[in-house]
Structure 1
Amino acid sequence: MRGYLKVATVASALLGAALAAPIIKVHPGDGSDIIITSQDTVNATQPAPANATATNSTFKLAENVASSNGQLPLFLVNNFAGAINAYVTGLDSNNQLVMLQPDGSWLYPTCDPTVSTPQAVTANVAIPLGGQGSTTQVTLPGYISAARVWFAAGNLEFFTVYSTATNGPSLVEPSAVNPSDPSAAVSWGFVELTNTEAGGLYANISYVDFVGLVLGMSLLSGDGSTQSAKGLQPNAVSTICSLLEAQTAKDGMPWTDLCQVDASGTPLRVIAPSDYVASNPDAFSAYFPDHVSEVWTHYSTNTLTIDTQAAAGKVACTVQGDLLTCAGDNRGYARPIAGDIFGCNSGPFAIEADDNDVHRAVVPRLCAAFDRATLLMTGGDSQPGLASTSYYQSAPTNWYSAFVHQNEVDGKGYAFSYDDVNPDGDVNQSGVVADADPQVLTVIVGGPLAG
């Protein structure tokens, strides 16, 4: 499970200053510059075994690709014009922290519990891919959860810290949002996956936090069927940065600041506005207030119908006082600000443990409507009700999400937390492949193959 650790952080004032300049130029640091968050850690709940290794399989050209005992074949296709390293991180079936070594065995990273600062993983965990157009075939030794398969045009640096909460090592992974991260100057990306005996395989491509090295994937299932999420166009990072720069010229908002570039000015990645605002709370403070006021005024005399797409059915919502209240909901909604809208997990969109099912259904649908600017459109009084072709058609809207979707090959891959909110029968924007009987997971780096 990914958890939160407060260890050896960069001063937030310095980070805020670094991110304030248009187009962020990364400046890689060392272990003291690491910012550790729940998005960038994997926490073991068991210590490493005494032998700290487990050899079950090696690289192989699998003649029989059927998986057994969690030994899932991965076909890693390099469609990138350059050298690529792959890495695999996660938890094994005993909830022990693992990384895949080039010989196909698990490495069990350890750390000194008496040292409070991050400790570098010095073992060789980089798996070099063949040249452009080649396929490298590897097999995971066993079941894995909370896992990522990383790809980098260079070398990534991983660290461990000791977690007193779990009494075990936590893996500190590269951070996309920290321009001082030791791996900041490397272009990289990952797919997330869990493969368990009980649940089978679930793998996901997501752009909720950032867009980096372009990846796509497909899954061969036991019945011979295939699923795919093709990812972004090959030059998506540069294209999205150009679109954001143009948007900043139009509205004066810091969209350009979402782009990170290397020392030569070459775009490396684009971070989501939710992560940017988390470090720069005032960045988009002037973007939404007028629109939110218009929404509140409109629904003080009109009814907003939220289709919960669940047992509660359709619920009526109106502004009463200064709260949007919905029938059957245990509490109302205050006016959201930029961080609430981009992140969908704070302010009125934070879900509490005692919230009822109506509230839990309204939050994603209401936040998605703000991100997509559909609440004041004709037909916007029913959410979700408008087709996906109506999203992002007016400002203020989440232009990061809009531009990510413009560059997706097949329209799959979330660009904000509730990007799966759509009318029944509309598009499936999930970048997920899943099956109870997975045979081969193929991941393509560098853009989809021709044809």
Structure 2
Amino acid sequence: MLKRLRWRSLAVAAATLAAALFTFGAPSGAEAAVPATIPLKFTNNSGRGDPVYIYNLGTLLTTGQQGWADANGTFHAWPAGGNPPTPAPDTSIAGPANGQSKTIRMPKFSGRVYFSYGQKLDFRLTTGGLVQPAVQNPSDPNRNILFNWSEYTLNDSGLWLNSTQVDMFSAPYAVGVQLADGTTKNTGHLKAGGYNAVINALRGQSGGWANLIQTRSDGTVLRALAPGHAVGSGVLPTTVMDDYINRVWTKYSSSTLTVTPFGDQPNTKYFGRVSGNVMNFTNSAGAAVTSFQKPDADSIFGCHKLLDAPNDLIRGPISRTLCAGFNRSTLLVNPNQPDTSSASFYQDSVTNHYARQIHAQMADGKAYAFAFDDVGAHESLVHDGNPQQAYITLDPFS
């Protein structure tokens, strides 16, 4: 059965921001100047000869209605789905050939721009809406298709556009935005040879990490699964983080973990101590504020379950800090979190090696290799309040 993927933290955060804007009134000035659609220049520098298909899928922030946008940026609501899921309409846009560009338009919603090589993606609709591809599922119809996606939110406050590896590392690409003064910001480019370097490093990493790589029957590498999906589907051991988790629990049974979750609020601190199987947090007045059960690898890699992060001002910010600390293996070397200096990331032998290798091969060091990789601003995101044009560039595989 197909499984719906979670929207990542960026989309949730941007949607929350949009909801606040709608609640408290429309913005003014430059923010209000954001048009109903903006151009997205899609450039194919992949070096591949197979056709490319583009999909622009998302949710209207004003109504919560799910649908898709055509090449002109016109929104179309999905028809009713079924149970079992029924085929979605073909919403593909013919992409540019290698060495060429094509400009489409992005409407104001929170969504994903998918692209696939050589074959169209198979989307389905349930009674609850769109089913996203879930290639950790062996029966997913998109399992043997080479594809990837970018995530974005466009609203009256501007554009947030990112590359993502939260679910998988696959066909390389970068994102960008043109500002009102004509300059551009971009991120997501790999170093020369970076794609193969990530794949080869995972193949050489002991402990089951090689099992993240999925190939087609002809030997074509399609992707590396994110470790959360790999644990969930049984191809990465559930115990892969146990040694580090146990050492963290031992350390903070006799010492205090201090979490200062907001960079602009240095006096807002929470203090964690372990008692048995629980890490309890208090505020500066000594009052209990929240607690966390000892997490497992699935909770850490997915930043969910035992490390759930609601959109509040206490538990969520503490949880996202813990999630970043576990994935980057900084909790033992620094009792003051978040540790935002990348020099200390991934230094323990037990760590998120998937995230470690991806960041190591990014031209600017930035990636979205797990849900809260934006802690300390290490995410591959471009944002502007008055975007003139967006960019997605398909990069070479080698």
Normalized against structure 1, the TM-score is what? 0.73
Separation in 1, partners of 2:35, 2:329: 47
What amino acid maps onto 1:77 in structure 2? T
Aligned to 1:442: 391
Separation in 1, partners of 2:119, 2:93: 7
Q: Does 1:216 align with 2:174?
A: yes
Q: How many residues align?
A: 366
Change (3 A) 1:117 1:303: closer
The one of 29, 32, 37 aligned to 1:71: 37
Separation in 1, partners of 2:238, 2:331: 20
Change (3 A) 1:230 1:376: closer
Aligned to 1:177: 136
Change (3 A) 1:322 1:39: closer
Instruction: Give 1:274 deviation, angstroms.
Output: 0.9
Change (3 A) 1:182 1:235: farther
Indicate if the aligned counterparts of 1:317 and 1:326 stay in contact, CA closer than 8 A: yes
Aligned to 2:270: 315
Instruction: Give 1:368 deviation, angstroms.
Output: 1.6
Separation in 2, partners of 1:206, 1:123: 24
Separation in 2, partners of 1:268, 1:277: 19
Change (3 A) 1:139 1:448: farther
Aligned to 2:118: 154
Change (3 A) 1:341 1:139: closer
Q: Which moved more, 1:398-407 or 1:314-323?
A: 314-323
Instruction: Give 1:260 deviation, angstroms.
Output: 0.7
Q: CA offsets per residue over residues 326-361 of structure 1, 9 Å max, x none? A: 3224232332211122112121x12468xx734333
Q: What percent identity do the matched residue pairs reach?
A: 26
The one of 356, 372, 376 aligned to 2:328: 372
What amino acid maps onto 2:196 in structure 1? S
Aligned to 1:36: 4
Instruction: Give 1:446 deviation, angstroms.
Output: 1.8
Separation in 1, partners of 2:101, 2:57: 20
Instruction: Give 1:234 deviation, angstroms.
Output: 6.1
Change (3 A) 1:262 1:444: same
Separation in 2, partners of 1:121, 1:324: 45
Separation in 1, partners of 2:202, 2:360: 12
Aligned to 1:31: none
Q: Does 1:432 align with 2:384?
A: no
Instruction: Give 1:189 deviation, angstroms.
Output: 1.1
Separation in 2, partners of 1:86, 1:120: 17
The one of 190, 193, 196 aligned to 2:149: 190
Separation in 1, partners of 2:94, 2:172: 18
The one of 177, 183, 192 aligned to 1:225: 183
What amino acid maps onto 2:274 in structure 1? V
Change (3 A) 1:176 1:215: farther
Q: CA offsets per residue over residues 199-245 of structure 1, 9 Å max, x none? A: 22221212111111111021112233322113334654432222112
Aligned to 1:407: 361
The one of 126, 129, 136 aligned to 2:96: 129
Separation in 2, partners of 1:335, 1:91: 35
Change (3 A) 1:357 1:99: closer
Aligned to 1:363: 319
What amino acid maps onto 1:89 in structure 2? L
Separation in 2, partners of 1:313, 1:110: 44
Change (3 A) 1:218 1:340: same
Aligned to 1:396: 350
Rg comparison, structure with higher value: 1
Instruction: Give 1:436 deviation, angstroms.
Output: 2.3
Normalized against structure 2, the TM-score is what? 0.82
Aligned to 2:211: 257
What amino acid maps onto 1:118 in structure 2? P
Change (3 A) 1:286 1:421: same
Aligned to 2:233: 279
Aligned to 2:164: 206
Aligned CA-pair RMSD: 2.9
What amino acid maps onto 1:387 in structure 2? S
Separation in 2, partners of 1:299, 1:436: 42
Structure 1: gaps of 5 or more residues = 1-8, 10-33, 43-66, 423-427
Aligned to 1:63: none
Instruction: Give 1:322 deviation, angstroms.
Output: 3.9
Structure 2: gaps of 5 or more residues = 12-32
Aligned to 2:68: 99
